[in-house]
Amino acid sequence: MGRAATRDARLAAGGLEAVTGRPPPASIIILGGGTAGWMAANLLQKRWGAAGTIVTLIESKDIGIIGVGEGSTPQLKAFFDELGIAEAEWMPRCNATYKAGIEFEGWSDRAGFERYFHPFATAVDPFTERTFFAANALRRRGTDVAAHPDPFYLATRIARDGRAPLAPANFPFDIGYGYHFDAYLVGATLREFAVGKGVRHETATIADVVLNEAGDIDHLVADDGRTFAADMFLDASGFRASLIEGALKEPHRSFGDNLFNDSAVVTPTPVPASGVRAMTTATAASAGWIWHIPLTNRVGNGYVYSSRYLDREAAAAELRRHCGLPDDAEVRHLSMKCGRVERSWVRNCLAIGLAQGFLEPLEATALHIVLATVDGFTKAYEQDDRDGFNATIARRYEGIRDYIVCHYRAAQRRDTPYWRDVTGHDRISDSLKSILTAWFTGTDLEQEVHEQGIAAYYAPMSWNVMLAGYGNFPSRVAPIADCPIDLAEVERFVGGCALNFPTHAEALSRLAAAKAA
């Protein structure tokens, strides 16, 4: 009996009608573990397990995972919520902390704009965001009003005040937040959960990929001779892209012409005695930027840079100096390949994680894209819409790429060859050109974002915060007789809201106590 027939027999025996369109695959093999692979395994088991789909993940003990990113967007919370995994179950185990947004330091040398905070959205934002947009519009047209984004957003105040983005019961507004975590431990936690829910786990090193006469993947061959066959394959093999690029020869589209960074050097430091705040910090450096990601047991630090402007030894030395470490402090070097495969879903193979593409970790979008890919794939598979899915995922990559490119293109520093080049090139998309044109000509940026249909990637708030946070305003401003922006009232409102939230240390202590109980 074939794999599909076996699945149909199980459905008939159980009286199940798990899907409304095309039935899901009878069997799926995921090649590669790590966070991306185990996230996909959990989601596929959750969505299609009841329909009889057999999900198997194969990982090699000889191949490690990259584990560069240790931060997330709020979509990761939605993922854990869907699986029914409480924060107290996974966060203490993975040394996780909360994340209300990203602090950017040193990306601008304009007075008053040396740093800014990019907050995650909250349901409180509409009370102050319109005022922020109005201040931006006035300042972009040369009026002397305060338009730095920091005072206008609750998440910014929560993070800066050392609080956690956890709304108490008496505060009836949703607060979006992400996490910082140990990627290795999250992968192990998700593996344990997936296997407990019925995902099959195999340890093998794949030596060959065999295609059938039609050109689809038929089975994988391990170096010990074992074979693994399935109806659908997910390539989570990292930058190797063993299935999507190796076996199926799908072309890779490089983003190197406008995303210059291709390397990273990383090292940990101890948690400071003052504790940690619910924010990632991204500090501009001579040929890139340095992240600081606080966990409960350490701070992760990494220098993302371009090897065209800085060699490995110089990058390591700059990172050590920035972190206050001795010259012989141990570091780890990584190479990055910014870009994406032309199509994420080719024949009976779906690429996820680094095998699908990579956008440098400035916006911590790697896991966000994994979730969007798997979610979109399950729906598109049932609707038999591979072309529509591929187009949607490509647009998501391009939209996120444009936002990251804008971080560099609109930065206000020119002190090194790297910064002069990343701020001065003209290799940007038509979409980004229109965004920048709207900003610098003082027209309606919000309308431009919505007309382009890119708000699903980054909303008008994100574009306004970044461009205003750098101080991209006319240098000459005229006074206004009757200013409509009451900044004192905005700060009173935001500050009062923030008082409802626990400190970050208190929130983490509660998690640890709940886990122990």
Q: Per-residue pLDDT tens for 246-300?
A: 999 999 999 999 999 999 999 999 999 999 999 999 999 999 999 999 999 999 9
Averaged pLDDT for residues 411-426: 97
Mean pLDDT of 430-438: 98
Over range 144-162, report the average pLDDT. 97
Candidate from 320-334, 354-368, 468-482 with smallest mean pLDDT? 468-482
Count other Cβ atoms within 10 Å, centred on residue 430. Answer: 9
pLDDT at 64: 55
- Give the per-residue pLDDT at 516: 76
What 8-state DSSP symbol labels residue 502? P
Query: What is the rounded distance in angstroms from the CA atom of residue 262 to the CA atom of residue 44?
Result: 32
Mean pLDDT of 307-325: 98
> What's the confidence (pLDDT) of residue 66?
47
Displacement of CA 386 from its chain's centroid (Å): 24
Of 368, 481, 482, 345, residue with least CA distance to 72: 368
End-to-end CA distance of the chain: 49
Q: How far is residue 73's CA from residue 294's CA, in Å, rounded to a whole number?
A: 15
Rounded CA separation 314/337 (Å): 21
pLDDT band at 149 (very low <50, low <70, confident <90, very high): very high
Which two three-digit tokens encode residue 186? 């999250």
The tokens describing 246, both together, are: 């190796």
With 90 as the cut, is the pLDDT of residue 397 above it?
yes
Please report, as a single letter, which amino acid is at residue 98: Y
Length of the chain: 517
| pLDDT of 377 above 50 | yes
| Residue 14 scores a pLDDT above 90 | no
Report residue 326's pLDDT band, with 50, 70 and 90 as the boundaries.
very high
Q: For a pLDDT cut of 90, what percent of the chain falls above it?
A: 90
Sheet with strand 252-254: strands edge to edge? 252-254, 339-341, 357-358
> In whole angstroms, what separates CA 391 from the centre of its chain?
20
Instruction: Please identify which of the residues 46, 61, 77, 99 carries the catalytic annotation.
Output: 99
pLDDT tens track for 42-79: 999 999 999 999 999 999 986 555 444 489 999 999 99
- The residue with tokens 């065209």 is 308
pLDDT value, residue 20: 57
- The closest of 325, 336, 333, 272 to 298, measured between CA atoms, is 272
Q: Is 99 designated active site?
A: yes
Give the confidence band of 439 by pLDDT, cuts at 50, 70, 90.
Answer: very high
With cut-offs at 50, 70 and 90, classify the pLDDT of residue 423.
very high
Residue 321 has pLDDT above 50, yes or no: yes
Q: What mean pLDDT, rounded, does the chain reach?
A: 93
Instruction: Compute the distance between CA of residue 15 and CA of residue 285 in angstroms, rounded to an integer.
Output: 61
